[in-house]
Amino acid sequence: MSAQVKNDSKAVILIVDDDDLLRNFYSRVLIAEGYEPVSATNGEEAINILESGKHDIRLSIIDLLMPVRTGWELIQYMKKNDKYKDVPIIAITGLAASFDEFEKVKNTCQAVMHKGDFDLNKFKDTIKLHLKK
């Protein structure tokens, strides 16, 4: 039996980023790792996906700065919703956050990754770590 073969159901991971190239890149990486990505281009689309109830989201990868509804608005929605409040969140940002913003992210999300110094192995390891919990 191959190490790639997991059980019948793949872990569903929500990817929310307004950058098409990054969203597609994250999706390809997740598929290669044996996960099922579900994508949204902004917080509003992501909330619609969550409210549809079609997916058992096990982890979320959320860009903090997006149009329509920001990553922060999506995170606040998830934390107030009993069904999603315990879903691990990996925040993705391209900006250098102030100390206060960084503390807010650290206290709300399980991990923070910066687009500028992206490390593929760290990305995969962070996902595996937070799916085990």
- Each domain of the chain, given as residue ranges in start order, spans 12-132
Query: What pTM, to 2 d.p., does this model score?
Result: 0.85
Sign of CA dihedral 75, 79, 82, 85: positive
Radius of gyration of the chain (CA): 14
Where do the H-state alpha helices sit in 1-133? 20-32, 43-52, 71-80, 99-108, 120-132
Distance CA 25, CA 61 (A): 12
The pLDDT, as a whole number, for residue 8 is 47
Cβ-based burial of 1 (10 A; exposed 0-12, middle 13-18, buried ≥19): exposed
Task: Kindly indicate whether the domain formed by 12-132 is annotated with CATH number 3.30.450.40.
Answer: no
Which of residues 51 and 116 earns the better pLDDT score? 51
